[in-house]
């Protein structure tokens, strides 16, 4: 090989499209703005070493890659670097709805919306990891997300910025590339002695060559229909907004042909490929019978499966885009399925001309004419080669809070992406609002919100930055969480509206009283803190006691009354009695502390000395210990005590009627009961034993139950006593 050929081989781009069924290898030479395809080779996998775009057997796949590499190296010299793409079907899509609580008084800022969106992406990442039992959520690269809808207080809204409400929500579709896909791709290349020159995603590769930048402001859906899956990508406003995958593709049509006409897989594949170019098709079924049928008849036999494929693709486009796109481009071998474009257009409600298969003719501006590139299955391999030159994807290394983070630069990456890649919880960065408290005020529920949390401080290279700021290699990002808001506090005085005052007179002095507060039924100072879930009643004073307490008179009187007490003991038990009494009058009439008052009432309230009680009034009933019996004296029942009380106060004998002295020590003892005699009755009845002045009365008669008796005759309960002169 000459030096010239050697040097030109350094400029050649080696591109690989590793599909589920086959691997396509291209050698492409950049020629100014165009690319010239110099060579192309296709090899099918010997075994099922690929599944849905994921390399399942690295060794088997590397063997196929090695064979393609060797085949191309014979003509073009050593190949050391290769451009590859991660299959669109290996992307994982997750749809989540995320809510954030807002302050009623503050308008929603752009940063709030970005926080909401990135939090939704992070939630999707976490849910995906949970579904796949993956501990490390950062093992998924977010390669794109799109907001399906915004909501404010549960209602659909076009734009959240500058709106006000309680809850903002975003419905987001996020797409992730599992790191294992990239790792297995790198492993297969390394086994063949190849370095990754560039990595892209298959949908991005195809869009790069099919849809020029000038067209990307349009809302276009690109569908790559392979053997096992159909990959969907959407562009709008110059960016790729969403990706998706449908597990229905060309093999469904092949299976339908196998069942309809009893064909084996290779023959069914041949028939499928012939449908687009031939009117009459000849095939041999598994019984060895040869048939020749019009292609229209064959298509009619698989009409149901064509409709099914078109319907699934249309549903996925509508799910990702929220509405029909302006145009749909179909690529990949499966896009040649007859009538597929018309059926997709019908399912989306688009004119038939808006859905088209785009083949090698669509990429002539890049590759010119080439006999090897004759169908839509070559769009993606050429796109991979073009992406290697024009849109090389690299790792971007940045530091987040002094930790180095490697990010796959698969789109315009932002500070928010770096924070997600670093595993920082976007929601936790914003200070949480303080705890609210809920009160019931005069029967109505009232919520006192907590303080607002402060926004996070995000710096990029020492300067303040937003979540949507683009990042470059070597950027230093620092994210400090905002501080939490203070918990809510409330005093009764904060809850009071303007209330009337209660006007009345107390002890001839005019008085004007404001409202009082009862918390959980108890009086509560107006400036004391309220606990959560308190029941608060705010009203004017209603009773004499409330009026006196609010005027300060009752507490003073109570203190005086407490000071003026009499202390004494009875048989060792201590007693305390007030030596003063309360006098309450309303409009000249006696009243109690619990009576209601009305505006204009005249209240009298005073404390007076209270006469001390007699000893008998303070002796507890159980201390009397007296027994009694009843007899009848001259027809009147009389109760006679069988025992008497012995009372001492401060060591001296005392009578029952004596007043208690302050500090007195009183003892009460009962004597043993003794049988009463006739003369004991005279202690209980008022009778004169003097002889009446009436003439003829000479003798005093004493009878017990009709029998003669004397003063010393003993009595029994129920005896009838008589005493008279005759």
The structure tokens listed for 722 are 């008589």
The contacts of residue 513 (CB under 8 Å, 6+ apart) are 501, 502, 504, 540, 541, 547, 550, 551
Please state the rounded mean pLDDT for residues 363-388: 68
* pLDDT per residue as tens digits for the range 324-344: 999 998 888 788 888 889 999
User: What is the enclosing helix (H) or strand (E) of 101?
Assistant: strand 92-101
**Highest averaged pLDDT of the listed ranges 78-87, 308-317, 468-477:** 308-317
**CA–CA dist 617, 570 (Å, integer):** 11
Buried b / exposed e over 432-460, threshold 16 CB at 10 Å, is bbbeebebebeeeeeebbbbbbebbebeb
Please state the rounded mean pLDDT for residues 629-658: 82
Q: pLDDT band at 49, cuts 50/70/90? A: very low
For residue 153, the tally of other CB atoms under 10 A from its CB is 13
The three-class DSSP label of residue 368 is coil
**CA–CA dist 573, 620 (Å, integer):** 10
Buried b / exposed e over 227-256, threshold 16 CB at 10 Å, is bbbbbbbbbbeeebbbbbbbebbbbbbbeb
pLDDT at position 136 is 66
The three-class DSSP label of residue 332 is coil
pLDDT above 60 for 233: yes
pLDDT above 70 for 316: yes
In the DSSP assignment, the letter for residue 374 is -
pLDDT at position 427 is 74
| Percentage of the residues of the chain whose pLDDT score is greater than 70 | 86
Please state the rounded mean pLDDT for residues 24-53: 71
* pLDDT per residue as tens digits for the range 127-170: 877 777 766 666 777 777 777 788 988 888 888 888 888 888 98
- Residue 200 near residue 410 (C-beta atoms within 8 A): yes
Please state the rounded mean pLDDT for residues 223-244: 78
pLDDT above 90 for 345: yes
Residue bearing the bigger pLDDT, 201 or 53: 201
What residues does each domain of the chain span? 3-91+181-390, 396-488, 616-725
**CA–CA dist 221, 198 (Å, integer):** 25
pLDDT above 60 for 633: yes
Q: State which CATH number among 3.40.50.300, 3.40.50.1820, 3.30.420.40, 3.30.450.70 fits the domain covering 3-91+181-390.
A: 3.30.420.40
The contacts of residue 10 (CB under 8 Å, 6+ apart) are none
pLDDT at position 2 is 38
Please state the rounded mean pLDDT for residues 670-695: 77
pLDDT at position 315 is 93
pLDDT above 80 for 601: yes
**CA–CA dist 374, 333 (Å, integer):** 11
The contacts of residue 534 (CB under 8 Å, 6+ apart) are 439, 440, 519, 520
Q: Which of 374-383, 436-445, 663-672 has the lowest mean pLDDT?
A: 374-383
Q: Which of 91-100, 495-504, 544-553 has the lowest mean pLDDT?
A: 495-504
**CA–CA dist 671, 643 (Å, integer):** 5
pTM over 0.95: no
pLDDT at position 393 is 59
| Percentage of the residues of the chain whose pLDDT score is greater than 90 | 4
Could you give the angle at which helices 179-191 and 58-76 cross, rounded to 10 degrees?
A: 50
**CA–CA dist 160, 113 (Å, integer):** 7
CA proximity to 624, closest of 560, 690, 669, 676 = 669
**CA–CA dist 411, 471 (Å, integer):** 11
Please state the rounded mean pLDDT for residues 182-187: 80
Q: What is the mean pLDDT of the chain?
A: 80
**CA–CA dist 421, 430 (Å, integer):** 18
What DSSP string runs through 596-631?
B--TT-EEEEEEEE-PPPBHHHHS-HHHH---EEEE
Residue bearing the bigger pLDDT, 359 or 446: 446
Please state the rounded mean pLDDT for residues 278-282: 86
- The arrangement of strands across the sheet holding 395-400 comes to 403-408, 395-400, 476-480, 457-460, 463-464
Q: CA 410 from chain center: how many Å?
A: 32
pLDDT at position 625 is 55
pLDDT above 90 for 108: no
CATH fold for the domain made of 396-488: Ubiquitin-like (UB roll) (3.10.20)
**CA–CA dist 93, 224 (Å, integer):** 16
Residue bearing the bigger pLDDT, 92 or 8: 92
CA proximity to 328, closest of 145, 337, 340 = 340
- The arrangement of strands across the sheet holding 140-152 comes to 92-101, 167-178, 140-152, 155-157
């Amino acid at each position: 090989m000459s030096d010239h050929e050697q040097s030109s081989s350094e400029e050649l781009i080696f591109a690989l499209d590793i599909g589920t069924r086959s691997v396509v290898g291209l050698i492409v030479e950049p020629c100014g703005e165009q690319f010239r395809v110099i060579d192309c080779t296709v090899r099918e996998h010997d075994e099922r070493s690929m599944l849905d775009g994921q390399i399942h057997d690295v060794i088997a796949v590397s063997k196929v890659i090695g064979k393609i590499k060797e085949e191309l190296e014979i003509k073009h010299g050593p190949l050391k670097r290769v451009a590859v793409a991660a299959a669109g079907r290996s992307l994982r899509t997750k749809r989540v709805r995320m809510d954030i609580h807002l302050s009623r008084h503050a308008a929603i800022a752009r940063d709030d919306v970005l926080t909401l969106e990135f939090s939704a992406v992070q939630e999707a990442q976490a849910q995906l990891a949970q579904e796949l039992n993956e501990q490390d959520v950062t093992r998924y690269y977010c390669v794109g997300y799109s907001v399906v809808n915004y909501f404010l207080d549960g209602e659909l809204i076009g734009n959240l910025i500058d709106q006000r409400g309680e809850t903002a929500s975003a419905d987001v579709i996020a797409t992730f590339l599992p790191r294992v896909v990239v790792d297995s791709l790198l492993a297969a290349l390394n086994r063949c002695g190849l370095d990754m020159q560039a990595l892209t995603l298959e949908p991005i590769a195809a869009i790069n060559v099919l849809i020029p930048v000038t067209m990307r402001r349009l809302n276009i859906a690109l569908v790559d229909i392979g053997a096992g899956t159909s990959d969907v990508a959407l562009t709008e406003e110059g960016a790729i907004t969403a990706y998706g995958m449908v597990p229905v593709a060309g093999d469904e049509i092949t299976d339908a042909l196998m069942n309809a006409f009893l064909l084996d897989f290779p023959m069914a594949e041949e028939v499928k490929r012939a449908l687009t170019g031939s009117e009459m098709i000849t095939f041999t079924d598994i019984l060895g019978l040869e048939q020749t049928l019009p292609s229209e008849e064959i298509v009619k036999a698989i009409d149901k499966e064509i409709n099914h494929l078109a319907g699934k693709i249309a549903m996925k486009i509508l799910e990702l885009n929220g509405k029909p796109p302006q145009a749909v481009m179909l690529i990949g071998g499966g896009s040649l399925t007859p009538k597929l474009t018309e059926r997709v257009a019908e399912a989306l409600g688009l004119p038939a001309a808006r859905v088209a298969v785009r083949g090698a003719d669509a990429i002539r501006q890049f590759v010119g004419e080439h006999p090897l590139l004759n169908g839509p299955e070559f769009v993606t391999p050429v796109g991979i080669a073009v992406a290697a030159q024009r849109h090389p994807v690299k790792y971007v290394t940045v530091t987040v809070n002094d930790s180095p983070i490697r990010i796959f630069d698969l789109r315009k990456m932002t500070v928010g992406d770096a924070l997600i890649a670093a595993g920082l919880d976007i929601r936790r960065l914003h200070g949480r609002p303080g705890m609210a408290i809920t009160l019931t005020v005069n029967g109505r529920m009232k919520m006192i919100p907590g303080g607002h949390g402060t926004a996070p401080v995000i710096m990029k290279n020492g300067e303040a930055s937003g979540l949507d700021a683009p990042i470059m290699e070597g950027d230093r990002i620092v994210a400090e969480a905002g501080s939490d808001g203070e918990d809510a506090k409330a005093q009764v005085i904060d809850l009071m509206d303007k209330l009337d005052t209660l006007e009345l007179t107390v002890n001839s002095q005019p008085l004007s009283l404001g409202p009082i507060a009862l918390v959980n039924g108890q009086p509560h100072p107006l400036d004391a803190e309220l606990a959560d879930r308190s029941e608060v009643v705010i009203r004017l004073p209603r009773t004499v006691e409330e009026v006196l307490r609010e005027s300060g008179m009752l507490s003073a009187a109570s203190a005086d009354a407490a000071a003026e007490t009499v202390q004494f003991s009875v048989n060792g038990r201590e007693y305390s009695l007030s030596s003063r009494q309360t006098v309450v009058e309303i409009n000249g009439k006696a009243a109690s502390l619990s009576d209601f008052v009305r505006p204009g009432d005249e209240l009298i309230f005073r404390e007076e000395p209270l006469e001390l009680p007699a000893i008998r009034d303070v002796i507890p009933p159980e201390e009397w210990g007296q027994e009694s019996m009843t007899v009848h004296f001259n027809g009147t029942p009389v109760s006679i005590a069988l025992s008497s009380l012995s009372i001492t106060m401060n060591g001296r004998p005392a009578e029952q009627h004596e007043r208690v002295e302050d500090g007195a020590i009183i003892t009460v003892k009962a004597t043993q009961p003794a049988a009463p005699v006739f003369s004991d009755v005279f202690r209980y009845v008022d009778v004169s034993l003097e002889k009446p002045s009436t003439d003829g009365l000479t003798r005093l008669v004493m009878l017990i139950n009709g029998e003669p008796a004397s003063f010393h005759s003993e009595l029994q309960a129920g005896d009838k006593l008589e005493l008279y002169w005759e």
